[in-house]
Amino acid sequence: MTKQIQGNYFEDFRLGQELRHATPRTVTEGDQALYLSLTGARFALNSSAAAAREVGYDGLPLDDWLAFHLVFGKSVPDISLNAIANLGYAEGVFRQPVYPGDTLSTVSEVIGLKQNSNGKTGTVYVRSRGAKADGTPVLDYVRWVMVRKRDPDSPAPEPHVPELAEAVPAAQLELPANTNFAKFDTGLTGQPHLFEDFVQGERIDHVDGMTVEEAEHQMATRLYQNTARVHFNQHQESQGRFARRIVYGGHVISIARALSFNGLGNAIKVAAINAGRHTKPCFAGDTVYAWSDVLETMALPGRGDVGALRLRTIATKDRPCADHPLTDADGNYDPSVILDLDYTVLIPRRA
Amino acid sequence: MTKQIQGNYFEDFRLGQELRHATPRTVTEGDQALYLSLTGARFALNSSAAAAREVGYDGLPLDDWLAFHLVFGKSVPDISLNAIANLGYAEGVFRQPVYPGDTLSTVSEVIGLKQNSNGKTGTVYVRSRGAKADGTPVLDYVRWVMVRKRDPDSPAPEPHVPELAEAVPAAQLELPANTNFAKFDTGLTGQPHLFEDFVQGERIDHVDGMTVEEAEHQMATRLYQNTARVHFNQHQESQGRFARRIVYGGHVISIARALSFNGLGNAIKVAAINAGRHTKPCFAGDTVYAWSDVLETMALPGRGDVGALRLRTIATKDRPCADHPLTDADGNYDPSVILDLDYTVLIPRRA
Amino acid sequence: MTKQIQGNYFEDFRLGQELRHATPRTVTEGDQALYLSLTGARFALNSSAAAAREVGYDGLPLDDWLAFHLVFGKSVPDISLNAIANLGYAEGVFRQPVYPGDTLSTVSEVIGLKQNSNGKTGTVYVRSRGAKADGTPVLDYVRWVMVRKRDPDSPAPEPHVPELAEAVPAAQLELPANTNFAKFDTGLTGQPHLFEDFVQGERIDHVDGMTVEEAEHQMATRLYQNTARVHFNQHQESQGRFARRIVYGGHVISIARALSFNGLGNAIKVAAINAGRHTKPCFAGDTVYAWSDVLETMALPGRGDVGALRLRTIATKDRPCADHPLTDADGNYDPSVILDLDYTVLIPRRA
């Protein structure tokens, strides 16, 4: 058994450890077409190279979540192959745009470790950084996962839980170099609403629903070279807790983002991930709906052309979101809720 | 609800109104690969850049129906989001070839309006034009759809039904600039039959059948950024008339065209759409078959290298077409028929 | 019926006959993305253009099996449309790398014919050669198929069974021009094992399983423009022996190769096909597992940077391979075995 990939167990991680993840990946127009085809994304800067160039990009940038999934996927064999649960995200910042031809790779640093009281598992916190071959940073984020111990008798490490920001502040958002959204043309999206039209506390139902098929989530997850076994092996999962393959949570994020075009069509770019939970598994056959809560409207220092919205997007399965399902009086999630994502998007300002 | 896309209702349309549709789209080699993968297309000029260059193209042109679906898809949010039925097509002309890197957008003009006698719906006629960012025309066509009224009490517009040609005449077909098909090599297709080998009234069974899967038609329709809800939302459709998602009619057209390679392998290009009806819905699990009737053989003015065939291609589901199923004695379609398409293709002439 | 593709019957083949197959195909980055998405492949040289250039390639080469399937697919309409069984492969050699933009075509030569004793069928041996438009050889291989006779009364040809090598010897392997793997970085794959770490007789379980969906194998097989009807037509197959569409055997090969990354991650390239049998059909819903037996370790003449491993990879369905399922005491395949493939891979040597 020594030649196979074993993944790391809780006791294999060390605070400060750096993991260089395998299989760098050159992204292409093929990835972009598949992403549209699998998610239904329609945001202007990722659909039209002409529109992207108009605001200062060098070409058609990869959808931010496509870049995220590729960077994330590389970390799976080292970080979460033996994970029980993906617990959270924080401090995610999207940096420079990715274009076809760029080769992405990922490095993670262990920034926290805490054994659980049962002695069988522990929480590992990592900061993962995606970059191009020339070192240009693409995105970085913190995630924490519950990982099995190989040997329950191995000693617990000194507990260290990192302090994480509740949200990425406006001053830490990074805008693509040389962009200017003052000339952004809402005719591209067919939606007139810009930064000034959104107010804190506003809730937007994204109306449409998208049913997920096995072939679709498998194709998406393989495209990202994410090797987590629960997504692909029905023979094994048929004996598992759900008797089903589980849809990669990132595919749900992508569908929710794609659905959010209906109402947030001018939210042209994802700038940050503040927090996120996959509150329940999604399975093939489920129909995903979504709605968003505007948590905050943020002016950006030195930018009169573009602002930011901090959003909380909730995805449900098999339940329309006209009444914004979320939690009951006790704070328990509505049974339909599968995603609770806190993130920040850029949206042009009115000239 | 004010931020969501509402689509237009019958009373929102005005004769002569021009609608600039959202989400221009840069097409790539990724779209071409997905199109082959989803439809089984094998026509020579869309498979081999070498073959395309040999007859005068600048590279590998997009399949004509892929270009059509992209142009059509853009018009859905404005024209047919509140439509009950897609009633017909006419006067479709394919103009200059589309290459990877081109950005397509669509503009539609309202050319006819007629309220139905029930007062609840009306027919809207539009001419949609697809063009590249530099204005080069790609294709244009008329379609008419039955659209709901928002308010049944709103006044009926002055009825205006446009006069539409029964078919696009040879003189109005547009050939790609700088092409010469005199050197077309039938070894590329493995089929010897050229323009001179086809006669009016000839019927060709395309033999093969292709079963459609949910993931396939969803991926195709999302690739075209066509947002019609009936194709994607099983949760909602399970309560609908068919209890199923409906396959986008254009996907059936593409499969029928791909099947027609068997017998019409040298019909290298679609030149016009004369008329078309989706006579019955197609669902995942259905196996599509097709046959074609040669309605007319058309010499092209000034072209000794290439001619045109006006074809009627019938697609069926779950019924082979060796006996050319069409209508019964009363003119009712055979229950298996799902598409009745009248279109014109180019085919090289014998040297 | 004269315009349709009929395929060749046994009596249509002649010893020494050369068949130029239809539909040359320009390959693109779209094909590469789809291949990753459909198979889960993660080998370094086909994932990262930077990694490929580092060892001497001109860009991101097509996965060897993707090139094989494209070359193979072209031969189907002429060789195996009327085949009952694909009996074997031999003498397959992968030659120069294929890059996006290359146009592939296939020519086959009939190198053997032998009518079966029942008088109704015969075995046809062909050597198929895939090449680029400029004549650069891409790969060639022998396969033999059992083909129906159109007319059982037609005379049997003089029997001729070609002598085929048991395996491609090291001296006949062809390495991509200008490559040097001495600098190959195992950090790219996350696996340390190189040529020197493998010994003859070693067995490696590839651990992971991959469930195949109908949409996936249909999309893969259409991408290769392989027209064998059993893969696509559920309406017809529902009346057939298995009542199911059969997954293209090449898709199983690709999945087995992708799974083999787990344990053979540095086996960067396929160099030869020595022999192969599709021992049982694979259907949608089956979960494919695989294990490999190292048949031979081969030094390569004049190359200190890279060696070769002759592998036997066994794929099963719905059965993990920790205990290396193969045959029973009587030599009959374990009922789970669907593929028995003997091939040769390149793997860098320790510096």
Computed over every residue of chain C, the mean pLDDT equals 96
Cβ <8 Å between A31 and C33: yes
Cβ <8 Å between C218 and B214: no
pLDDT band for position B76 (50/70/90)? very high
Measured between CA atoms, the residue of chain B closest to residue A38 is B219
* Burial tier of A72 (Cβ tally within 10 Å: 0-12, 13-18, 19+): buried
Task: List, for residues C196-238, the tens digit of each pLDDT value.
Answer: 999 999 999 999 999 999 999 999 999 999 999 999 999 999 9
Is residue B318 included in any domain, yes or no?
yes
| Residue carrying the six token digits 């010994």 | C199
- On the question of pLDDT at B1 being above 70, the answer is no
The closest alpha carbon to B138, from B98, B84, B99, B172, belongs to B98
Give yes or no: residues A230 and A138 share one domain.
no
Question: Of B109, B136, B164, which residue constitutes the final position of a domain?
Answer: B164
Give yes or no: residues C146 and C276 share one domain.
no
Give yes or no: residues C80 and C153 share one domain.
yes
Domain containing residue C74: 1-27+62-164
For residues C106 and C141, give the distance between their C-alpha atoms in angstroms, rounded to a whole number: 11
Task: List, for residues C93-151, the tens digit of each pLDDT value.
Answer: 999 999 999 999 999 999 999 999 999 999 999 999 999 999 999 999 999 999 999 99
Task: List, for residues C68-90, the tens digit of each pLDDT value.
Answer: 999 999 999 999 988 888 899 99
Question: Of B114, B138, B164, which residue constitutes the final position of a domain?
Answer: B164
A neighbours by CB contacts (3+ pairs under 8 Å) = B, C
Whether the CB-CB separation of C113 and C160 falls below 8 Å is answered with yes
What's the gap between Cα B10 and its chain centre? 24
Give yes or no: residues A206 and A105 share one domain.
no
Whether the CB-CB separation of C210 and A232 falls below 8 Å is answered with yes
B289: which DSSP letter?
E
Cβ <8 Å between B287 and C101: no
Give yes or no: residues C232 and C318 share one domain.
yes
Measured between CA atoms, the residue of chain A closest to residue B6 is A262
Cβ <8 Å between B211 and C218: yes
CA diameter of chain B:
63
Q: Which residues of B touch A219 (CB under 8 A)?
A: 215
Task: List, for residues B32-48, the tens digit of each pLDDT value.
Answer: 999 999 999 999 999 99
Query: What local confidence, expressed as pLDDT, does residue C1 receive?
Result: 47
For residues B257 and B238, give the distance between their C-alpha atoms in angstroms, rounded to a whole number: 30
CB atoms within 10 A of CB C201: 9
Q: How far is C43 from chain A (nearest CA, A)?
A: 7
Is residue A44 included in any domain, yes or no?
no
- The backbone region for A183, taken as left when phi is positive above 0, alpha when psi lies in -120 to 50, beta otherwise, is alpha
Cβ <8 Å between C28 and B31: no
Is residue C47 included in any domain, yes or no?
no
Query: What local confidence, expressed as pLDDT, does residue B82 receive?
Result: 85
Q: How far is C295 from chain B (nearest CA, A)?
A: 36
Q: What are phi and psi of C17, to 5 degrees?
A: -60, 140
List of residues 6+ apart from B10 with CB closer than 8 A: B113, B115, B121, B122, B124, B147, B148, B149, B150
Give yes or no: residues A269 and A138 share one domain.
no
For residues C333 and C103, give the distance between their C-alpha atoms in angstroms, rounded to a whole number: 39
Cβ <8 Å between C213 and B211: no
Question: Of C164, C182, C212, which residue constitutes the final position of a domain?
Answer: C164
Give yes or no: residues A177 and A158 share one domain.
no
Give yes or no: residues A160 and A266 share one domain.
no
CB atoms within 10 A of CB B322: 11
Q: Which residues of A touch C (CB under 8 A)?
A: 1, 3-5, 20-26, 28-31, 33-34, 77-78, 100-101, 103, 133, 213-216, 218-220, 222-223, 225, 227, 229, 232-236, 245
Chains A and C: how many Cβ contacts under 8 Å?
Answer: 132
By DSSP bridging, strand C137-148 and strand C269-277 are: unpaired
Chains B and C: how many Cβ contacts under 8 Å?
Answer: 132
List of residues 6+ apart from C342 with CB closer than 8 A: C167, C273, C274, C275, C276, C295, C310, C311, C312
Measured between CA atoms, the residue of chain C closest to residue B218 is C215
Measured between CA atoms, the residue of chain B closest to residue A31 is B30
Give yes or no: residues C132 and C179 share one domain.
no
Residues in chain A where the model's pLDDT stays below 50: 1
Give yes or no: residues A151 and A228 share one domain.
no
State the average pLDDT over residues B159-179.
Answer: 97
Is residue C36 included in any domain, yes or no?
no
Q: State both tokens at C294.
A: 């190292």
Query: What local confidence, expressed as pLDDT, does residue A1 receive?
Result: 47
Is residue A18 included in any domain, yes or no?
yes
Is residue A45 included in any domain, yes or no?
no
Q: Which residues of B touch A32 (CB under 8 A)?
A: 28, 30
What percentage of chain C has pLDDT greater than the value 70? Answer: 100
Q: Reduce the DSSP state of residue B314 to 3 states and report it.
A: strand
CATH of the domain at A114: 3.10.129.10
Which helix (H) or strand (E) covers residue C66, if one does?
Answer: helix C64-79
Q: Which residues of A touch C218 (CB under 8 A)?
A: none
| Residue carrying the six token digits 């590249």 | B132
Measured between CA atoms, the residue of chain A closest to residue B76 is A190
Q: State both tokens at B340.
A: 């009745």
Cβ <8 Å between B23 and A48: yes
Q: What is the count of structural domains for chain C?
A: 2
Give yes or no: residues C94 and C232 share one domain.
no
Q: Which residues of B touch C78 (CB under 8 A)?
A: 190
List of residues 6+ apart from B203 with CB closer than 8 A: B291, B292, B293, B294, B324
Give yes or no: residues B340 and B210 share one domain.
yes
Is residue A48 included in any domain, yes or no?
no
Is residue B54 included in any domain, yes or no?
no
Q: Which residues of C touch B209 (CB under 8 A)?
A: 229, 232-233, 235-236
Give the DSSP letter string of B172-204. G--PPTT--GGG--GGGTT----GGG--TT-EE
The closest alpha carbon to B148, from B181, B124, B180, belongs to B124
Q: State both tokens at A7.
A: 């993944």
Q: What are phi and psi of A255, to 5 degrees?
A: -70, -40
